[in-house]
Homo-oligomer: A and B are copies of this chain.
């Protein structure tokens, strides 16, 4: 059986890797859908799809996950919820079950006849994209929340500098 898990992974954190491991105990292959793939360089979505592919690949490999059982699929938004499930299906190998923490995602797949699940949770509220991006901007200790492999990519792409720049207020050209 093949499962799909859909998120934005801005950035991937330790909780995400645990989720992936746990799902892979139950299914044969896992498709990791990278949502809002066309977004980057905003406070909400700072990293490109390609940067997220790289972070996920390295973090999954470092966690000992067999990459031949995982497919990473960037999924650009379509801004039309009624066609979104078809769009995801067209970009991905076939799957039977969908994990997501997003109720819209689960609703859309449910209406299309898919089995959906809230993914297993690792509740500590630090494992949360918003918290991590906030710490990066304010100079907090974000490194402990993400896998070492992700920290390394973050440094290569100067992620902290990017987030700090983006958080400055636009004040003049209005």
Contacts and interface: CB of A to CB of B under 8 A. Distances in A.
What is the oligomeric copy number?
A: 6
Interface residues of A, number: 67
18 contacts: A8-B174, A37-B91, A38-B80, A38-B90, A40-B82, A41-B81, A41-B82, A41-B108, A50-B73, A53-B93, A54-B93, A67-B67, A100-B173, A101-B170, A101-B171, A101-B174, A128-B174, A129-B173
Interface string A114-131: 000011010000001110
Contacts of A173: 6-8, 100-102, 119, 129
Interface in A126-174: 128-130, 162, 165-174
B121 A90 contact: no
Contact of A73 (B74, B78, B103, B129): B74
Interface of A: 6-8, 10, 37-42, 48-51, 53-54, 57, 61, 67-68, 71-74, 76, 78-83, 85-87, 89-94, 100-104, 106-108, 110-111, 118-119, 121, 128-130, 162, 165-174
Contacts of A51: 93
A91 B49 contact: yes
A91 B39 contact: no
Contacts of A119: 172-173
Given A37-B91, A83-B83, 12 more contacts: A38-B79, A38-B80, A40-B90, A50-B89, A51-B93, A82-B87, A83-B87, A101-B174, A106-B165, A107-B166, A111-B162, A129-B173
